């Protein structure tokens, strides 16, 4: 009997141990499952956050891309073509593509800016004025000819070669640095006074254009008080298409294009 009881007791111990082991195993499994679920949930959350960060980063890249190309967040364009900066430190890219619309007097302008130019000219004429486009798109060869002519003009006045080139560059852009070469600039004068000098600002045509050009997306590109920034002397006849949004801001804030684009770059760099 004692031996049988001993065997049953031993068997009972093994049964209890098996039950305890099963309980322990089940507990471990439950804990592992909970930890796995927690980690999976955390990984999923991190993945979602990373996706959100990626989206923000991509948006920043797109915006930065616009700034690199045209220094703009202009809503009127998708690639910043209307705010491309062209000056002595930002030359026109070689083989820059321009799709032109030919005007009646042999002039031409980028086809994307043409509707705004036509509207501005039509409205000016509707008030009884006679604006006349005397210069617009130029090839590099044309710009070279104009620049060399200006250099020769100063040389005949006694300037040295270097001084003549420097002085000429204040009034005629060095080839490759003229806005006329991207088809977004037009020189507009009064038909009754077709002289490119300071007196041009006194004509009724120029007074109207200076006051209203921003409504059509144009700006007076080289104001008299901004020459040190633009690098070009005062030209009360040179208008540049930048789009209505930019033109309105530039006029309201009394800035030149360089200042406006610098402000945009600073705002984006600062996260505004």
Task: Kindly list the catalytic residues.
Answer: 235
Start-to-end C-alpha separation, the chain = 92
Say whether 170 sits in a helix, a strand or coil: coil
Contact at 8 Å (CB) between 186 and 209?
Answer: no
Q: Strand, coil or helix: what is 30?
A: helix
**Cα–Cα distance between 33 and 234 in angstroms, integer?**
77
Q: Under a CB-based contact definition with an 8 Å cutoff, are residues 236 and 220 in contact?
A: yes
Residues 6+ apart with CB under 8 A from 91: 176, 177
Evaluated on CA atoms 225, 108, 85, 248, the torsion sign reads positive
DSSP result, 118-138: HHHHHHHHHTT--EEEEE---
């Amino acid at each position: 009997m004692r031996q049988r009881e001993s065997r049953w007791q031993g068997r009972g111990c093994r049964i209890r141990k098996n039950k305890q082991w099963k309980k322990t195993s089940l507990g471990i499994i439950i804990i592992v499952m909970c930890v796995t679920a927690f980690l999976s949930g955390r990984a999923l959350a991190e993945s979602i956050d990373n996706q959100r960060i990626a989206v923000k980063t991509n948006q920043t890249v797109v915006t930065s891309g616009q700034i690199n190309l045209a220094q703009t967040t202009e809503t009127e364009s998708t690639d910043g073509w209307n705010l491309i900066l062209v000056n002595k430190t930002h030359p026109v890219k070689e083989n820059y593509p321009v799709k032109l619309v030919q005007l009646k007097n042999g002039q031409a302008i980028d086809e994307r800016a043409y509707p705004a130019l036509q509207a501005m000219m039509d409205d000016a004429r509707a008030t009884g004025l006679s604006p006349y486009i005397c210069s617009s798109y130029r090839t590099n060869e044309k710009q070279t000819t104009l620049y060399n002519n200006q250099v020769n003009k100063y040389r005949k006045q006694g300037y040295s070669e270097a001084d003549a080139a420097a002085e000429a560059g204040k009034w005629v852009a060095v080839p490759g640095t003229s806005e006329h070469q991207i088809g977004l600039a037009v020189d507009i004068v009064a038909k009754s006074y077709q002289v490119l000098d300071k007196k041009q600002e006194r004509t009724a045509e120029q007074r109207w254009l200076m006051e209203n050009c921003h409504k059509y997306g144009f700006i007076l590109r080289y104001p008299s008080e901004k020459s040190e920034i633009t690098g070009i002397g005062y030209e009360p006849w040179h208008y540049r298409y930048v789009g209505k949004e930019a033109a309105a801001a530039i006029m309201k804030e009394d800035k030149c294009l360089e200042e406006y684009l610098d402000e945009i770059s600073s705002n984006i760099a600062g996260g505004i």
